[in-house]
Structure formats: structure tokens, C-alpha cells
Amino acid sequence: MNESIRIKGNASVANVSCGFDCIGYAISDPGDIITLIRKNTPGIDITMSGFGSDSISCNPNNNTGGKAVLSLLDALKSNQGFKLHIEKGIPPGSGIGSSSASAAAAVFGANELLGNPFSLNELLIHGMAGEAVASGGFHADNIAPALFGGIILVRSYDPLDILNLPVPGNLFSSAVLPKMTINTMEARKILPEMVPLKNAVEQAGNLSGFTLGLHESDYDLLGRSMVDHFAETHRAKLIPGYEEVRGSALDMGAIGCGISGSGPAVFALSDSLEKAQLIGNAMVKQFKAVGLSSQAYSSPIHTNPPEILG
Ligand code: HSE
């Protein structure tokens, strides 16, 4: 068995407008790189480097990667100890699944070093235990795409039922990260406990339309369906210039555009890589107009699990 492993954990866009807490997709850049090394004593020793690493706890119980591995070891009743180094390529609090990327890569790497006692599906619950450290809630729309790749539908949380949605060949993502942070836990607290029945009906219709749009590669239907009646109006207030940024993406021909996860990143879908890059540039320009510098990442949907680098 190998003594160490390096894994790249993928960023992800959650909610995808109409799928609050139940739809997410993976992107390959940016990503977190984790290194796991077996040690002869129990416990997890964590070190961190990269974007925002000084804001993240190295206590394994308060670290998404550490907690995910602890959950896995607990299920195996294993005393195996690890050194875990997390190199953050994804800024924490940016809205593209920073905590999930670390949790997915860490749990995937630990499973590999232990001889794969769990299937990829079985790893999800441990990844979710890690993710909960950051979000304060049990949601899987970042961790599931980070672990499985592709576009994921969380059909049910209890019991957990995770479904792969089809990824049309010419579907591209732009994710723009303004230089500010939003704490997911706080961004969940501002949401109302209840939504009016009318909004729930609209959301159900849009979510169904979105999944059918993916099945049929019907981008008009996808675009019509990418409307959020649960979270966007509440969270848009936290992102300076959000409406203008969204407007700029739609003006450039985006299929749809919305807040990525709990923000502040804004994402858009489009039908070519060239368009995705132009849309990313337009959104960066709009953020600049309100005094925020930002970075755009344009790519196809990433369809694979975390990558083993060595
Ligand atoms: N679905 C979660 C939320 C994603 O919107 O709170 C957080 O990235």
C-alpha cells in the first residue's frame, strides 16, 4: 500500500439558480491540492498553505478535510493517523465550493491509501460531514459534484439519493470571483424558514424544466428555467453590483446566470468556450465598475472525480 498520495479537489457551482441545495456542477479550475501521508500514530496533523489558509483551522474537527477523514476513519473503526497538507487554490468564502473541494479530495485520498474500503458513493456521507463544518448545514450540492464530477441532482437528503444529470457536450461555465468573501453559514441564516406556496410551485416547475433541458440539450428551456425563487433576492443584496453583473452576462449571450452557491461568485452557462470567456470578461468589467476586482474561470463542466496527481 502507498504511504502518501496527492489529490486535486475540484471547485463547484451549487444551486445553479433553480436548484437551491439540490443541483451543482463541478469545474476543474481553480482547485485545491491535498497531500496525505500515513503516520504511525493516531490522529490527523493538518498544515495549510495558499489562498486564505490563515483563516482556516488546522484542528481536524474544525477543518473540512480533517473532519471528512475523521468521519471515514470512525466508520472503519480505524486508528490510522495521517499528515494532511491542504494547498488552497480556491479562496475560502468565494462561493465555488472551497470547503467541499478540500473535503472531497481528503476523503478520496484517505480511502485510496486505505485500499479503497468504500465506494465513491459511500464516501459522500463522510465528505458531507466535512462540508458541514463550514456551512453549518448538511447540504450536498457542492460536495457531490466535487466527488463525482458532472452535474448532480440531490433528489433526496433522507434517504440520500444522488443522481447524475446528463452533461451536454457543448455546455460551458463561467465563474467570476470578486475579491470579497461571504460566509456560507451566515448566508444561510438570512434565508427565510418558509417560502410562499406560489414560490415553491415556480421553483418546482423551473427545476423540472432545467433537468429536461439538460436531457434534451434544449438551451432555451435551460435559460427559462434558471430562475431562483428561494435564495437569490435575499443574497443578491450581499453582492455589490450583482444585477448589473448578471445583466452583462445575459447581454453577452449567456444561457442563464446566477449566484454561485451562497456567493459572492457569480456563474453563467453558455454554449461555447469562446462565449464563456467573453461572458467572464464582461462580468469582471461590471464588478470593476462597482470597485471590485475579480477573477474569471471559464471551462467545460468537469466530469471526473478528484484527480490523483501522484
Ligand atoms: N446550497 C448551498 C447554499 C451552497 O446555497 O447555501 C453553499 O455553497
pLDDT digits (tens, 9 = 90+) for 150-202: 999 999 999 999 999 999 999 999 999 999 999 998 999 999 999 999 999 99
Grid coordinates representing 128 are 458531507
Report the chain's mean pLDDT, rounded to a whole number. Answer: 96
Q: Cite the active site residues.
A: 131, 184
Does 308 reside within a domain?
no
CATH at residue 294:
3.30.70.890
Q: Show the beta-strand stretches assigned E in 98-194.
A: 151-157, 160-165, 172-178
pLDDT digits (tens, 9 = 90+) for 102-146: 999 999 999 999 999 999 999 999 999 999 888 777 789 999 999
Contact assessment for residue 151 and residue 14, using Cβ atoms and an 8 Å cutoff: no
CA 75 vs CA 68, 97, 117, 123: distances in Å: 11, 25, 10, 10
Q: Provide the 8-state DSSP code for 148.
A: H
Q: Provide the 8-state DSSP code for 89.
A: -
Closest ligand 1 atom to the C-alpha of 100?
A: 8
Does 147 reside within a domain?
yes
Tell me, what's the pLDDT at 278? 98
Which of 165, 186, 211 terminates a domain? The answer is: 165
Q: Show the beta-strand stretches assigned E in the chain.
A: 4-14, 23-39, 44-50, 81-88, 151-157, 160-165, 172-178, 256-259, 266-270, 294-300, 307-308
Tell me, what's the pLDDT at 303? 97
CATH at residue 34:
3.30.230.10
**Among 178, 149, 199, residue whose Cα is nearest residue 20:** 199
Distance from Cα 260 to the centre of ligand 1, integer Å: 8
Ligand 1, atom 7: closest residue by C-alpha: 261
Domain shared by 87 and 212, yes or no: no
Does 275 reside within a domain?
yes
Top pLDDT among 136 and 272 is at 272
Domain shared by 182 and 275, yes or no: yes
Q: Map grid coordinates 459511500 to a residue.
A: 122
Domain shared by 159 and 262, yes or no: no
Neighbours of 162 (CB within 10 A): 20
Domain shared by 29 and 149, yes or no: yes
297: left (phi over 0), alpha (psi -120 to 50) or beta: beta
Domain shared by 10 and 122, yes or no: yes
Which of 146, 165, 184 terminates a domain? The answer is: 165
Strands 44-50 and 81-88, by their bridges, are parallel
Rg over alpha carbons for the chain, rounded to the nearest Å, is 19
Percent of the chain predicted with pLDDT > 70: 100
If DSSP codes are grouped into helix, strand and coil, which group holds residue 96? coil
Give the pocket of ligand 1 (CB within 6 Å).
14-15, 21, 135, 139, 141-142, 184, 188, 231, 261-262
Does 108 reside within a domain?
yes
Does 250 reside within a domain?
yes
pLDDT digits (tens, 9 = 90+) for 75-113: 999 999 999 999 999 999 999 999 999 999 999 999 999
Domain shared by 228 and 290, yes or no: yes
Distance from Cα 239 to the centre of ligand 1, integer Å: 15
Does 309 reside within a domain?
no
pTM here? 0.96
Closest ligand 1 atom to the C-alpha of 21?
A: 1
Does 306 reside within a domain?
no
Which of 111, 132, 165 terminates a domain? The answer is: 165
Tell me, what's the pLDDT at 214? 98
- Residue 270's domain comprises 172-300
Closest ligand 1 atom to the C-alpha of 15?
A: 1
Does 109 reside within a domain?
yes
